[in-house]
Structure 1
Amino acid sequence: MSEQTSEKEQVINENADNLSATINEEALAASINTDDSVNGMQHLDDEIGEESELEKLQVELDETKDKYMRLVAEFDNFRKRNAKERIELIQTAGKDVIQSLLDVLDDSERAQKQMETSEDLIQIKEGINLVFNKLQATLQHKGLKKMEAKNHAFDADLHEAITEIPAPNEDMVGKVIDEVQPGYYLNDKLIRFAKVVVGK
């Protein structure tokens, strides 16, 4: 009788163990859920999602590196091109002015030849005046403007005083009495001070 009871208890225990194992498997299966909207569940695609996110970040990093390298190359090309253009500009800065003065140079050479053969002083003077007027007109066209200094108040920002002499009258004290060398503007910017004599 005791042996039968022992066998029954053993069968019951085995069935209980099997039932417990089955319940554990079902519980584990129930805890795995593919629905991302359910919080606190273990998702089947968690590992796949992490790998996908990593791949996405790697692609973005590669694209950013590519854009950066392109920008660096473009900037380097721009810098080289800009340096080349600046050198060319410096080398040819006076080209336009020189070209405009070539006509005046041609006229000067013709006037010089005429002076060697002609004895008519009036004609020679007229030729020289024509060349001089053409030179002035060419330079004025390029933006050169002569400064008016004589009889104006002395201005250290515009004038360079060579000497001071007694003023002929009270009105000329502190003013420019004579101009030794004229000053010039280029496009309204001072490029040479006027050398003057000031009354005291």
Structure 2
Amino acid sequence: MTQEETSGTAQEEASRVENKLEEENKELKERLLYLRAEIENMKRLINKEVEKAKAETTERIMSRIINIYENMKRAVNDIEQGNNPFRLAEGIKLILKEVESLLNSEGVKKMEVVGKQFDPFIHEAVAFVEDPAIENDNTIIEEIDPGYTLGDRILKPPKVKVARKPKTQQE
């Protein structure tokens, strides 16, 4: 085989490899475009499902709130009509149970705070008192207004009374 033949064969081989690489590159680019389109479709589908879930949740909660609202309107009407106060009290108790049921079904929990350490990021102190009998400084001794959580989020911080050791005991 002459040098020209070897050179020609090498060029043919290089050309064949180049064509093959160009074809593979084209296929990979097409695949990449397809996958990008798939990702965009998945994003749209997920966003649509999230919006649907939000709408269904809002609808479910609002329908229960409407029932509570209608019952409150009936209670106000009973007050305006001068109806039996016992009946009114019973109606308000039922409304309260409806609200509690709604809160429970949505995962809202009342915070238990008495006896816990005061944390200004969680609790709202409305009073501080000195108490020589407490073991730990800044202990919550009374809940003035309850707090509520939803999962790990605080919906409403509790208002609390906090006990501290007298100044002479702290040192």
Tell me the amino acid that sits aligned with residue 194 of structure 1.
P
> For residue 116 of structure 1, what is the aligned residue in structure 2?
80
Change (3 A) 1:162 1:89: farther
Tell me the amino acid that sits aligned with residue 58 of structure 1.
E
Counterpart of 1:154 (choices 111, 117, 135) is: 117
Tell me the amino acid that sits aligned with residue 26 of structure 2.
D
Residue correspondence of structure 1 range 17-166 to structure 2 within 5 A: 31=1, 42=5, 46=9, 47-82=11-46, 88=51, 92=55, 94-150=58-114, 152-156=115-119, 158-166=122-130
Tell me the amino acid that sits aligned with residue 133 of structure 1.
K
Unaligned 5+ residue runs, structure 2?
165-171
Rounded to whole Å, the distance in 1 between the matches of 2:13 and 2:140 is 89
| 1:114 positional shift | 2.0
| 1:139 positional shift | 0.8
> For residue 22 of structure 1, what is the aligned residue in structure 2?
none
SS in structure 1 of the partner of residue 113 of structure 2: coil
Rounded to whole Å, the distance in 1 between the matches of 2:116 and 2:91 is 37
Change (3 A) 1:58 1:153: closer
| 1:89 positional shift | 6.5
Rounded to whole Å, the distance in 2 between the matches of 1:44 and 1:199 is 95
Rounded to whole Å, the distance in 2 between the matches of 1:69 and 1:175 is 61
**Relative contact order higher in (CA < 8 Å, ≥ 6 apart):** 2
> For residue 170 of structure 1, what is the aligned residue in structure 2?
133
| 1:111 positional shift | 1.8
SS in structure 2 of the partner of residue 170 of structure 1: coil
| 1:147 positional shift | 1.6
Q: Max radius of gyration: which structure?
A: 1
Check conservation: 2:118, 2:138, Cα contact below 8 A.
no
Give TM-score, length-normalised by structure 1: 0.63
Rounded to whole Å, the distance in 2 between the matches of 1:181 and 1:101 is 23
Check conservation: 2:124, 2:157, Cα contact below 8 A.
yes
Q: CA RMSD in A?
A: 3.3
Rounded to whole Å, the distance in 2 between the matches of 1:43 and 1:53 is 16
| 1:100 positional shift | 2.6
Rounded to whole Å, the distance in 2 between the matches of 1:154 and 1:49 is 79
Rounded to whole Å, the distance in 1 between the matches of 2:77 and 2:128 is 43
Check conservation: 2:118, 2:140, Cα contact below 8 A.
no
> For residue 18 of structure 1, what is the aligned residue in structure 2?
none
What fraction of aligned residue pairs are identical, expressed as a percent?
A: 24
